[in-house]
Chain A
């Protein structure tokens, strides 16, 4: 079965502190992994995907196939990072359905 687990519903850190949002997945095969973000009153948007290997807004995520994880990290949190973050996966071919985790609400305290 395809499943994405985000163990933390809420995460609160201080500005300038490191951030790590956890994501574990279950998938038989080679999935494509994503992080989506939803800022207040905005639509859900793609933050990054593992195949692009980019760093977006200072965030990075490494796919660990052994631990079936795709944790999102940022060394120094900024107040504008406060948002809802969703980890998601899809099959490797084409525009397939996305399977989302429950999401983590990240709050950056000043």
Chain B
């Protein structure tokens, strides 16, 4: 199992452009979450996808959108890129469960995509 894989690893875009980042979850996982990690900061939650729908969303503008496919892989799209969108974008996969304090709900992270907006 390759774990969580993200592509591309690095990307340079110009202000105003659009970008799509991709994530394949760990085998057996059905939930994908995206995080933005600015330099020197902890990861910040963007949104989470489950059953091909956005289930939770953090404090990010509508320029950030996503999609989950039937095979549980996911895409993060950012429109009208700003310089401030430059960051490491992390994907995390997990297994959804309704059980409280379930030890199987550990989130596994990908290596991330480093986006630079110039």
Contact = CB atoms under 8 A, between A and B. Distances in A.
Interface in B80-118: 90, 92, 94-103, 105-112
Nearest to A96: B56
Interface residues of B, number: 34
A49 B108 CA distance: 14
Interface of B: 3-4, 31, 33, 35, 40-45, 48, 56, 58, 90, 92, 94-103, 105-112
A94 B96 contact: yes
A43 interface: yes
A32 B101 contact: yes
Main secondary structure of the interface of B (DSSP, over half): loop
Contacts of A95: 31, 33, 48, 94-97, 105, 107
Nearest to B96: A95
A18 interface: no
Contact of B56 (A43, A88, A92, A97): A97
Contacts of A93: 98, 100
B38 to A, nearest CB: 10
Nearest to A88: B42
Contacts of A97: 33, 45, 48, 56, 58
A11 interface: no
